[in-house]
Amino acid sequence: MLKTAKKNIRQLSLSELEQYFETLGEKKFRAKQVYEWLWLKQAQSFEAMTNLSKDLRAKLAENFSLPALGVDATQYSADGTIKSRFRTQDGHLVEGVLIPTDERKTACVSSQIGCSLSCKFCATGYMDRKRNLEFDEIYDEVVLINQQCERVYNKKLSNIVFMGMGEPLLNYKNVLHAIERITSPDGLGMSPRRITVSTAGVAKMIKQLGDDKVRFKLALSLHAANDIKRNEIMPINETNNLKALIEALNYFYQKTENEITFEYILFKDFNDSLKDADELIKIYRQVPADLVNIIEYNPIDAARFEKPEEATVQQFMTYLERHKVNARLRRSRGKDIDAACGQLANKDQL
């Protein structure tokens, strides 16, 4: 007879744990103890739950699994950025990055193993999507990067951005559940205002975020300000065009009043002219966006794009500022270890 797989204990809510302990004839408070070990104390095994009897720990191990994410490899950049490759219990690899600055310590986390969107400038886009990450695996990414941050910088994480591998809004339930655990007082207790979810633009799910009254910030990876160019580099635009995205972002803001940011990577001779800047300004004025992040392009082997000359970048920035656009130039971190924006691809040299 085939043995059925044990249920992941972290998939149980507190009330479901309470029901389980009742069936064992155990006191209800045992459920709270286990729940604290799982989320507040981030235990990675039943053996670690030292205020439970050995018999009870053995019973939990017999009935449940606790598939924690593990660090497979780590790389340290000259600028202080740290990239980690994590291994899931079923043997998949996924990457996360710790980006330190004087003001903040940011975790860049992944939501999928690979990606299905095939954006032409992104290394992850050239990989297949293997599967979505479960909410507890996303939680583990943050826990492990936070532990790294405390070990290396003696500080806790201050911010989290969902800008790693995958499209967060195509793993909607797990991303929202992970954020609920990350922000919960009996989890990591982080403020949702310090979390940004970045999307390539899934209009229907942006509206869903509004309906769900989420409290975190939203970033749209724009990268081209007209449909022809955006279709060319981001195939998702063919089914989620700029008109639909503008409408969805306005709906999201109307429902939540949360901060919205545009992300715009500059590509040489593609979207870096003053005409492109004009088109970007038009979109900026149609959405209550707080900021436009202008991002340095980080070349990857698979793509034909190049980084513009510094003079072109400065001309573009000056033009935006002259037209009252709140724009910031985001310099890349971790380029020497392929940890910068668009470079995550589980390379073997880790």
Residues 230 and 307 in one domain: yes
Q: How many domains does the chain have?
A: 2
Q: What is the pTM of this model?
A: 0.92
Looking at the domain assignment, is residue 145 inside a domain?
yes
Helix (H, G, I), strand (E, B) or coil at 5: coil
Q: What six digits make up the tokens of 155?
A: 């500080």
Looking at the domain assignment, is residue 249 inside a domain?
yes
Residues 140 and 33 in one domain: no
Where is the domain boundary, 63, 83, 101?
63
In the chain, what is the straight-line distance between the N-terminal and C-terminal CA atoms, in Å?
A: 41
Burial 315-328 (b: 16+ CB within 10 A, else e): bbbebbeeeebebe
CATH of the domain at 251: 3.20.20.70
Residues 86 and 48 in one domain: no
Confidence at 344, pLDDT banded by 50, 70, 90: very low
Is the per-residue pLDDT at 348 higher than 90?
no
Confidence at 347, pLDDT banded by 50, 70, 90: low
Looking at residue 5, its pLDDT comes to 78
Binding residue numbers for S-adenosyl-L-methionine: 166-167, 198, 221-223, 298
Question: Is 120 in contact with 232 (CB distance < 8 Å)?
Answer: yes
Q: Report DSSP letters for 241-287, one per residue.
A: -HHHHHHHHHHHHHHH---EEEEEE--TTTS-SHHHHHHHHHHHTTT
Residues with a known catalytic role:
95, 341
Instruction: Find the radius of gyration of the CA atoms of the chain.
Output: 22
Count of C-beta atoms within a 10 Å radius of residue 296: 18
Separation between Cα atoms, residue 201 and residue 206, nearest integer Å:
8
Binding residue numbers: 115, 119, 122, 166-167, 198, 221-223, 298
Separation between Cα atoms, residue 102 and residue 84, nearest integer Å:
21
Count of C-beta atoms within a 10 Å radius of residue 186: 13
Binding residue numbers for [4Fe-4S] cluster: 115, 119, 122
Is the per-residue pLDDT at 349 higher than 60?
no
Is the per-residue pLDDT at 259 higher than 50?
yes
| Residues spanned by the domain of 168 | 70-337
Residues 194 and 154 in one domain: yes
pLDDT digits (tens, 9 = 90+) for 321-341: 999 999 999 876 666 656 555
Residues 51 and 77 in one domain: no
Count of C-beta atoms within a 10 Å radius of residue 182: 28
Q: Give the CA distances from residue 207 to residues 177, 210, 214, in Å, rounded to whole numbers and listed in that order.
A: 18, 5, 11
Residues 33 and 117 in one domain: no
Q: What six digits make up the tokens of 258?
A: 């949360």
Mean pLDDT, the chain, whole residue set: 91
Separation between Cα atoms, residue 135 and residue 177, nearest integer Å:
6
* Run of H or E residues at 37: helix 29-39
Looking at the domain assignment, is residue 86 inside a domain?
yes
Residues 290 and 196 in one domain: yes
Count of C-beta atoms within a 10 Å radius of residue 93: 16
Q: Which residues pair with 87 in a beta bridge?
A: 70, 93
Helix (H, G, I), strand (E, B) or coil at 165: coil
Confidence at 2, pLDDT banded by 50, 70, 90: very low
Separation between Cα atoms, residue 199 and residue 115, nearest integer Å:
12
Residues 38 and 186 in one domain: no
Separation between Cα atoms, residue 248 and residue 266, nearest integer Å:
24
